[in-house]
Every structure is written in structure tokens, then in C-alpha cells.
Chain A
């Protein structure tokens, strides 16, 4: 069985981002980039399913410019079998990304597509659900546990009030939550080996997809700054402030 994992290159989660002075976006020049943390969890889950002999092949796909090859090589070093880069220099919105992934899914015919529940840059939390809709597949979002059977998956989802377990028939799409697993590190020998693993580069134009723009980004601003307050020296002083100054008690 084949698993397709979609990964995205994003600004490293520990970097403090800076909004560009012209409000056109966020500074990405000379900033440390990394694989989206939720996608690392998706790769890890796919590898574990292969190690259990449930899956036979793990294919990773990314959409972006050439620098995304680095993210794919990282996935290969972790253990993915091969990689596909759909090369595009444009910034694409979730719906168009879902359409590109649909095309790749139709060619690759995986039984399972694993994706992070959200990318930590756009925070949209949309693409897996959109891809599921376009393919007409069932979706199991925000997964914190996946049990794979022959023809279906039992997935425990993190919902607001606790947990919910559903069963989805294959082929299906699962989006990962942070607690699904603890991703492994790539060892140096595996990083070396990954350089020889197949990485296919496809031009977005060659997919001949009719993509159109649905959203125009007008500006990206820094949020209102919240200024630090005061430090108080005792519990009594704190309660006094909360009661008489802030009036919240």
C-alpha cells in the first residue's frame, strides 16, 4: 500500500517573525526555514505504518520553489522512499494547493494521504479537508491516534470537548495533530543516503491545471503591541491591583 505525505517548507517555528516594512508580507530572506512541524508528524506516522508492513512505499510531495527540495531531502533522510516537487514560484492558496495535490494523488493512487493539520505560517487548517472534498474521500482531521486495518482506519481525533474516534474507509485523508507521535531525527548516514533517493521535479505548468486566484492579500501588518505592565511584590498587592485598578475581580 502506498502512502502520500504532503510537506511544506515554512519559517522555523522558533524564529521570531518580522513583518516587512511595506506590509506586503513577512521577511523570509536569510531566515531559518524548516519542515512544517505538523508535516514532520505526518511523515513519521507514514514511516511507522511502513515499519509495521502496512504500507510498502512512502512518497513525499511538496509544492514550492527549488528551496523546497531541501525539505523533501529531509523527508527522504527520515526514511521516505521518494519525493516529488511541484515547482512553482508563486504563493498558492489552499484551494489551489489542494487541486495540485489532487492531480498528484490521481497519478500516484495512494491508499492514504497524510498531511499536517495546519501550516504554522498561514495557520489556515484547510488543505487536507479541501483535498478530501475534491477527491471525494473521507477525512479524519486532527488525528492523535491512527489504527490501520486492511480496508479502513480507526482514527482518534482531538476535538474541543475531548476525543472522538471515527472509522474511515480507504482511500482516506488524515491530518495530524501534535500528539500523534514524536518525530525521529535523521541520522548522518541516512542524510547521505537520502541524496541518492529519487526526487522528481515537475513544473506546475506541466500539470495543465486550471487554477485561478480566489483571494487577494491586501496587507500583512504587525499586531497591536501589548506593552508590559508592572511587577507587584506580593499576593496582597496583586489582588489589590486586580480589584481596584483593573477591576476584574
Chain B
């Protein structure tokens, strides 16, 4: 059995989720090949070749893949798909954009957000915002799946680099064109892979007061998240959103501040190891899943928390 892992990257650095998807590939008991498609992405291929367990790296360096549009990547992956039984991508916006397109081109099903591998044909994944777990058997010989990164422990070891094969397939798609990026700049750890996440909700009242959440996060070296209410109210940008329609996180410690705990939000964080809730409404649903709850005014409690953390 052979597996192709699509590597998410920005042409310079491998995205950390690659290590989690690689773990899933190794669990399938296969020899994984990592596909790095991009432009001037040689450093990414070199990083990929060092990951423990990687069998080979295929590097396709061509200007047509600079922004990794689904149309080109779909055609590229299909052109090499004959060599693989399984094609894996992270269940990020990158993987979700591409994997279904590949599956349809290959006329096979795609399983989204795999959280558990039972055997080579049987997988678990959450449905209904994580309120049910569906076990599916894939009947197609070739499997295309997106893997939920937080459900697999990342491969952390390194190996002496495996071979990097450079390829030059070019797929032009005149119907789709990249125009621009507006990326959020942050010094904090990435939300999807942070050990500690501090999230704020509607209870923060406005963007100015939301800074309290950021200040607490900085004391803890944590990433900052938000509920949809906080995003819609304009306190923070969209990509901070944790939940069914935002990011799924599973940090060691998740601190929910001024978040009631709607099912859509819980879908994105309920696999966190320890959950702390700070909310003035003692009946808020978030307390039903929080390991530690603190009932009270967040504008009093959070500054105290920051103060005491600084004094430790």
C-alpha cells in the first residue's frame, strides 16, 4: 500500500499539520510519499525529506503552483494518482479546497476530517458539529481523505533525508487566477497547533476590551481564539474563529472567556485536554464541559488572572 500526502506550505516552510497527516499515513502502515507542489519551494521539500518515516518526497516546482489553486493541484495529483492507493491532505482550508476536487476527478468518494483509522478501509469522522461520530467503510480501491490534524499526534522525529525527486509537470488553468492575500500577522503561536488557547466571546463587549484576552494569552504564550459572535461583532478577524465553521483545536489548555458554549463553538474545542470557563452566567452551557469553571465578571477576574500569572 502506498500513500500520497499533500504537503501544505507557503513555499518556504512546511505547515506543522504535515506532521499530523504523516502520522495518519504511517498508521495506515504504508510508505508515505510527500508531494510538495509550489514555486521555489525546494526548502519545503528538504524539510519534508527529514521527517521520520517519509519514504520519498516529490517536489514539483513550477510557477503555475505558486498559490496552489485547486484547479492546477487537482490535475497534478490526478496525473500521479495511479501510483497510490491513498491520498491524504490536512482538513484545513487548503486540504478541504483540493481533496474533493481530486476525488471527483478520480471518481471516488472522499472522507472528510478523519479522526480515527480503524483499518485500511474503515474510518471514523465527526458529523453534526461533532455531536455524532460516523464510522464509514470506503468501497473504492483508491481513497482520498482529509485528516483532522488534532486527532493524530505529530511525528516529531527526524531521519537522514530521504530522496527528493524533482518533477516538472505543468498544468495551466486559465479560468482561475490568484489576485491577492490579506494574511493576519501575529507573533503568537498558530491557533491550530498551540498548546494553550485563550478564546474570547461576545462577553468581551468590544474590540478594545478584547485586548484583555490577548494580554492573558501573551502571559501564557498562548494563541488567541474567538467565538463566532466575537468575530461577527468585529472584535477580531475571521481566522480567529474556533468552531464548526472555523478552526478545530485540541490544545492542552483551552480558556473560554465570555463564551456561552453554543454547539457550533463546542465542535471546535471540546477535545481540548483541560477546559477552563470564565463566565458570569453560571448556567452557561460551557460549564457543562469545562473542567474548571469560574463564575463572575470577566473584567474583574481576567485582570486578576493576568496579575497573578505575572507574579508567579
Q: Which residues of A contact B (CB under 8 A)?
A: 11, 13, 16-17, 19, 26, 93-95, 98, 117-118, 120-134, 137-139, 141-142, 144, 154, 157-169, 172, 177-179, 213-223, 226, 228-232, 234-236, 238-239, 241-242, 246, 248-249
A11 to B128, CA, bound (A): 9
A144 x B238 contact (CB < 8 A): yes
B274 x A215 contact (CB < 8 A): no
Majority SS at the chain A contact face: mixed
> Which of B26-34, B163-171, B175-183, B200-208 contacts its partner?
B175-183
A19 x B132 contact (CB < 8 A): yes
B276 x A166 contact (CB < 8 A): no
Report chain A residues within 8 Å CB of B287: 228, 231
B294 x A133 contact (CB < 8 A): no
B74 x A133 contact (CB < 8 A): yes
Q: Which residues of B contact A (CB under 8 A)?
A: 67, 69-71, 74, 92-94, 96-105, 107-113, 122, 126-140, 173-184, 192, 196, 220, 228, 231-232, 237-239, 244-245, 247, 252-253, 263-264, 270, 273-276, 282, 287-295, 301, 304-305, 308-309, 312
| B41 vs chain A, min Cβ distance (A) | 17
Report chain A residues within 8 Å CB of B99: 126, 129
Of residues B97, B103, B126, B252, which shows the largest number of chain A Cβ atoms within 10 Å of its Cβ? Answer: B97
Closest 6 CB pairs of A and B: A214-B109, A229-B291, A129-B100, A130-B104, A133-B104, A126-B100
B305 x A220 contact (CB < 8 A): no
- Given that A129-B97, A141-B97, A215-B139 are contacting pairs, would A120 and B71 also be in contact in the complex, using a CB cutoff of 8 Å? no
- The residue from A131, A137, A138, A220 contacting B127, defined by CB atoms under 8 A apart: A220
Beyond A129-B97, A218-B137, list 14 extra A-B contacts (CB 8 Å).
A95-B109, A123-B129, A130-B103, A131-B104, A139-B71, A142-B97, A163-B238, A165-B179, A165-B182, A177-B245, A178-B228, A214-B108, A220-B132, A246-B292
A177 to B245, CA, bound (A): 8
Can you show 28 pairs from A to B with CB atoms below 8 A apart? A19-B132, A95-B104, A118-B245, A122-B127, A126-B100, A126-B103, A126-B110, A127-B100, A130-B104, A131-B104, A137-B175, A139-B70, A139-B71, A162-B183, A162-B238, A163-B183, A166-B178, A168-B177, A169-B176, A179-B238, A215-B138, A217-B136, A223-B130, A223-B131, A228-B287, A229-B275, A229-B290, A239-B309
